[in-house]
Amino acid sequence: MAIGALYFWALSRDPKGVPQYEYLVAIFIPIWSGLAYTAMALDQGKVEASGQIAHYARYIDWIITIPLLLLALSWTAMQFIKKDWTLIGFLMSTQVVVITTGLIADLSERDEVRYLWYISGVVAFLIYFGLNSPPLGALVFDSCEPEYPAASSGVSLF
C-alpha cells in the first residue's frame, strides 16, 4: 500500500493536466487501506458476534475507499465534460448502503435478520448497478476522442 501511495505521490509532482485533488484521493486510498489492514494484521478490528468473528476493520476500510474509488472513476469518466455531481453522489451513497448493510448483517445474531440485511444490501447494489452503470458508461463513451469509442464502450461494459 505504501508503494502505491508513493507512486501516486511521484506522479503528482508532474501532473500532466490532472488536478491535484485527484492525486490526493489516489494517495489517500492506499494509505487508509494500509492502516486498516495493518490493524487486522495486528489482530485488531474484529469482534465476535453470534459465534463468528466480524472483521469490522474491513468495513471501515471499504466504507471510505469504495466511494472514493467511485469518485475517482467518475472524475475519469467525466474528465472532458461537466461533472454530474448528482450521479457521483448517488454512486457513492449506494455503496455506503451496501457496505453498511453488510456490516449490520455480520453483526446480527438472528439468521432471519442477517438475511434481511444481506438482501437489503443486494437490492442497493442492484439499484446502483442497474441505474448508474448505463449513464456512467454513456458518459465515458460520449466524452472520448473520436478514435477511441469502440475501446471505451468495451471498458464501460466491463
**Is 54:117 a contact under the CB 8 Å cutoff?**
no
Residue whose C-alpha is closest to residue 66's, from 35, 103, 38, 91: 91
Euclidean distance between CA atoms 127 and 120, whole angstroms:
11
Q: What is the pLDDT of residue 140?
A: 57
Parse the chain into domains and list their residue ranges: 46-157
What pTM did the predictor assign?
0.79
Name residue 47's beta-bridge partners.
Answer: 54
The CA distance from 88 to 154, in Å, is 21
> Which position has the grid cell 461533472?
83
Report whether 110 contacts 141 (CB < 8 A): no
Class of 46-157 in CATH: mainly alpha
pLDDT band, residue 150 (cuts 50/70/90): very low
| Nearest-angstrom CA–CA distance, 31 and 9 | 11
Confirm if 129 and 158 have CB atoms less than 8 A apart: no
The average confidence (pLDDT) of the chain is 86
- 106 near 54, Cβ under 8 Å? yes
Question: What average pLDDT does this structure show over 128-151?
Answer: 61
Quote the pLDDT of residue 146: 53
57-85 per-position pLDDT tens digit? 999 999 999 999 999 999 988 888 899 89
